[in-house]
Amino acid sequence: MNLRNIAIIAHVDHGKTTLVDKLLQQAGTYRENQRITERVMDSNDIEKERGITILAKCTSVHWGDTQINIVDTPGHADFGGEVERILSMVDGVIVLVDAAEGPMPQTKFVVGKALKLGLKPIVAINKVDRPDARVTEVLNEVFDLFAALDATDEQLDFPILYGSGKNGWMGTSEDDNTNGMKPLFELVLKHVAQPVVEAGPFRLLGTILEANPYLGRIITGRIASGSVKPNQSVKVLSRDGKVVETGRISKILAFRGIERQPIELAEAGDIVAIAGLTKGTVADTFCDPAVDLPLQAQPIDPPTVSMTFMVNNSPIAGTEGDKVTSRLIRDRLLREAEGNVALRVVEAADKDSMEVSGRGELQLAILIENMRREGFELAVSRPRVVLTKSENGQPQEPIEEVVIDVDEEFSGIVVQKMSERRAEMIEMKPSGGNRLRLVFYAPTRGLIGYQSELLTDTRGTAIMNRLFHGYAAYKGEIAGRRNGVLISNDQGEAVAYAMWKLEDRGPMMIEPGWRVYRGMIVGEHTRENDLEINVLKGKQLTNIRTTSKDEAVRLTPPIKMTLEKALSYIEDDELVEITPKSIRLRKRHLDPNERKRAEKAKEALAS
């Protein structure tokens, strides 16, 4: 079989999924009268809503007599674990770069991984029709990036295409828009090598895991050697060579366009999905019973942020979700960790909660969002960074490279806020259109919750991108939230009159009629301390007439708390309560006396 395996890698929003749409259309994947959805590869609900790719997915097209397997990868650094695994399945990469923004942090991350594996890149400058496109400068920046990442001479001699994925063309020059995607297809056939097929019996390295209600566990990977048929006996080897399980393959699915079709024989070099095994997972080797040595799996970068997931124990727990027990939460998290190698799930010492570590706040927020849509109720703590110890025993913390594109007039406040968060500025350069590109090395701790503050400071015009840089010595304390919170002192339904009377205490986070309970956070205090308030107290009605006219109750709109905003807002003594219908903020200890005891114990420990 004439075969090519390629991955499309780029920073978020540089047009990977849109490019795949056009490749599928122009390769004749669809019928003439078939209805085509936009960004067809973004298949789950959250991906469609947010317009981002979270899970890597495979598809294939036929160009002439050659089958091209294409892998669409995520662009956010939080899902970098997905990209690292995918690169071991392919023989070439298309590096997509925005003609205005140029190479960004995630571009640097994935290109570095691809170059290390010896893959030969094709560079595609996308969106050349943008009014602020700066094609020549971006091409120079790409070359400088490759050189900085120690690319070989062969990798530095990369072919270049220019085009617009949205308008469905790629060409050898900026105005060569007459041949559609044909130049890209032909370059892939010419530049990307055929898959290297090793001798020997069937071996496949598990790369993507998913659950199917009819077929059970489905593992996707590239066949390194041999061939496989349905009903064939196989065994599964872990990374260290131990036998995980033995069994039979019930079904082999090949990627044909956007569909997965059952096939009777899969041969070395092809990317396929196999079903029928119950324990094999990502990074395991699925092989013939005669094989004893596992395939080498790529090491994954360690997680940098952790959170505690626990049972929702508020007074109104169990009223909105149907999965509320610690056993169900534990099983769901362990199942997630099986398929997502960038996540680490450990049972906490108290056995009532789970410590979940990942690459960033977004990755953990997506997991929580998926769980609440499945009917789970849970409470989660503030994200914390994962500290390590250096050789001399000193604590080290994760440092991120932060790139902020901002209008010149707002650069001062950005530099000030970042320095308050212990960030170190590395570079400041113009990026076209009266905008500056600021590059910082900042501790991950300082970036928790900064995204919303940055948008407020810059009137929504700044774009922030982050990438894990490495570990460095602990930078010292960082000031947290400056304001205290307003806490409900009773349980019931919030009353508009009471909220109106309390408006001078600070902005509210609830609306009239919402259910509240003792210890729940209902607003933000205007001062530094926390304050207990009564939002249930209605107006006293008497039979005495008054000459004064009743004032109409007009409430200021409340602060809307999204999941990510809530996670970054809370302090260490607070939790976010998550249910399928609501996101509430609460104190860890609902009883005020317990809160005082915990505070005294903390002060005693600090002294």
Residues 184 and 220 reside in one and the same domain: no
- Whether 332 maps to a domain, the answer reads no
Residues 148 and 25 reside in one and the same domain: yes
Last residue in a domain, options 265, 287, 309: 287
Would you say 76 is a known binding-site residue?
A: no
CB neighbour burial string for 478-489, b if at least 16 within 10 angstroms, e if fewer:
eeeeeebbbbbb
CA 405 to CA 431: how far, in whole Å?
8
> Quick check: 16 and 53 in contact, CB under 8 A?
yes
Q: With H, G, I as helix, E, B as strand and everything else as coil, classify residue 16.
A: helix
Residues 146 and 207 reside in one and the same domain: no
- Output the pLDDT for position 333: 92
Q: With H, G, I as helix, E, B as strand and everything else as coil, classify residue 603.
A: helix
Would you say 128 is a known binding-site residue?
A: yes
SS (H, E, C) 134-182: CHHHHHHHHHHHHHHCCCCHHHHCCCEEEEECCCCEEECCCCCCCCCCH
CA 99 to CA 387: how far, in whole Å?
38
Domain range for 98 is 3-191
- Output the pLDDT for position 33: 47
Would you say 14 is a known binding-site residue?
A: yes
CA 579 to CA 321: how far, in whole Å?
6
- Whether 98 maps to a domain, the answer reads yes
Structure tokens at 53: 């790719």
Structure tokens at 111: 């290109």
- Give the pLDDT confidence of 448-496 residue by residue, as tens digits: 878 878 888 898 888 888 888 888 888 888 877 778 999 999 999 999 9
CA 170 to CA 183: how far, in whole Å?
6
> Quick check: 533 and 522 in contact, CB under 8 A?
yes
The total number of structural domains that make up the chain: 4
- Output the pLDDT for position 27: 76
- Output the pLDDT for position 80: 63
- Whether 362 maps to a domain, the answer reads no
Residues 118 and 237 reside in one and the same domain: no
Would you say 11 is a known binding-site residue?
A: no
363: left (phi over 0), alpha (psi -120 to 50) or beta: alpha
Residues 394 and 421 reside in one and the same domain: yes
CA 202 to CA 350: how far, in whole Å?
45
Low-confidence stretches of the chain (pLDDT < 70) are 1, 29-56, 75-82, 391, 542-552
Last residue in a domain, options 473, 499, 528: 473
Count other Cβ atoms within 10 Å, centred on residue 118.
10
Structure tokens at 248: 């039979």
Would you say 126 is a known binding-site residue?
A: yes
- Output the pLDDT for position 329: 92
Q: Which pTM does this prediction carry? A: 0.79
592 phi, psi to nearest 5 deg: -60, -35
CA 595 to CA 233: how far, in whole Å?
59
- Whether 322 maps to a domain, the answer reads no
Would you say 469 is a known binding-site residue?
A: no
